[in-house]
Amino acid sequence: MTDLRSDTVTAGKVLVCGSIALDLLGRYGGSFDDYQQKFPINALNFSLQLSDLRTSFGGCGMNITYGLKQLGVDVIPLTAAGLNFEDHYREHLEQLDIPTDFIVVDPDYAQCATAIVLSDDHGNQITGFYPGASPSPLRPVPESLPCIDEITMAVLAPEDAPIMLRQARSLHRVGIPIVFDPGQGISEFSREAIRELIALSDYVIANDHEWEIIQLNGKLQPKAVLAEVRQVIVTRAARGVDVYAAGEDPIHVPAVELNTLVEATGSGDAFRAGYVSGLIGGRTPETCARLGCLVAAYNLESPETQRYVFTPAEFEARYQLVWEQSLI
């Protein structure tokens, strides 16, 4: 999808370091809030009657990889998988022409990472996550990859702090710009880990809750974070996204109006794919955020995180419809 990019595309590839997972997605027909009012939850003991249940390909790292591939970006995933990767996941990626050279399968782990996500009809979610083979010692560090000189930018998708620190230090040693995406696990990161990851990174993308935790657990003021990185991008679900940079006025971009809300899982990953595609294309922060919001909308309208599709013409037409401005 090269015609979505500007004439100032930076040559090279994007490396995505992050989890590969199999998602078990359940749908509760109704509202978690209504359920709690009707059946007060006692010590987190509750039972939900689900209207839908399915398994899909996921993992934050691979969801971002998928979105970048949809946008025509040359992307390489770096991760560790369990033995069940060979059942269907490898074939799925190969059909998408996503390289699997640096997805290490560790025979000591039967399972890839697994996410169990229950969603209600309003996009609220209850999530359980098992890291599977993510901490495998067989996963190489980025600087050891034979293609490292071709990498333009790297995305650190959510994983445990030791894994993210190992990858970030390696990327920093070879001077590759880093997009730090801490995810929900940031609440378990130490002050030292948060501060080091921010110091090593060039961009921070987080939702509004994660942004608060970064400041709280890192004991950092927003200005201190902005002094370390080029941009902080804060997603706010239906309220859109805000982009911050030191010495600049904040930029707000509203969320894209949906045709229908089908599944919220992976929408944050889709946003990141869109935003990063804008970064490597030399786009303005506002356009990067618009790209992110539009890819997120496609994900929200899809039943699975790696099934939304669009042609370059469809993407361009919808972009023009939403913002009355051409990408070309």
Predicted pLDDT at 202 = 98
The two tokens of residue 225 are 């974070």
| Parallel/antiparallel/unpaired status of strands 113-119 and 21-27 | parallel
108, 110, 113, 116: CA torsion to nearest 10: -150
Question: What does the pLDDT look like over 162-205, one tens digit per residue?
Answer: 999 999 999 999 999 999 999 989 999 999 999 999 999 999 99
7 pLDDT higher than 60: no
Predicted pLDDT at 25 = 85
Burial class of residue 133, CB neighbours in 10 A (0-12, 13-18, 19+)? buried
Q: How many residues does the chain have?
A: 328
Average pLDDT over residues 62-78: 97
Predicted pLDDT at 102 = 97
CA–CA distance from 60 to each of 74, 140, 214, 326 (Å)?
18, 18, 19, 30
Distance CA 135, CA 17 (A): 12
Q: Tell me the pLDDT band of 323, cut-offs 50, 70 and 90.
A: very high
Contact 171, 142 (CB under 8 A): yes
Domains in the chain, please, with CATH?
2-20+59-103+133-322 (3.40.1190.20)
269 pLDDT higher than 60: yes
Q: Tell me the pLDDT band of 119, cut-offs 50, 70 and 90.
A: confident
Reduced to 3 states (helix: H, G, I; strand: E, B; else coil), residue 9 is coil
Give Dmax (Cα) for the chain: 58
Q: What percent of the chain has pLDDT over 90?
A: 76
Contact 176, 203 (CB under 8 A): no
Reduced to 3 states (helix: H, G, I; strand: E, B; else coil), residue 88 is coil
Reduced to 3 states (helix: H, G, I; strand: E, B; else coil), residue 70 is helix
46 has which bridge partners?
none
Predicted pLDDT at 124 = 83
Q: Tell me the pLDDT band of 11, cut-offs 50, 70 and 90.
A: low
8 pLDDT higher than 90: no
Distance CA 188, CA 152 (A): 30
Question: What does the pLDDT look like over 203-247, one tens digit per residue?
Answer: 999 999 999 999 999 999 999 999 999 999 999 999 999 999 999
- Alpha-helical regions (H) of 55-120: 60-70, 89-95
Question: What does the pLDDT look like over 43-69, one tens digit per residue?
Answer: 667 788 899 888 899 999 999 999 999
Predicted pLDDT at 264 = 84
What is the reported pTM? 0.90
Contact 154, 14 (CB under 8 A): yes
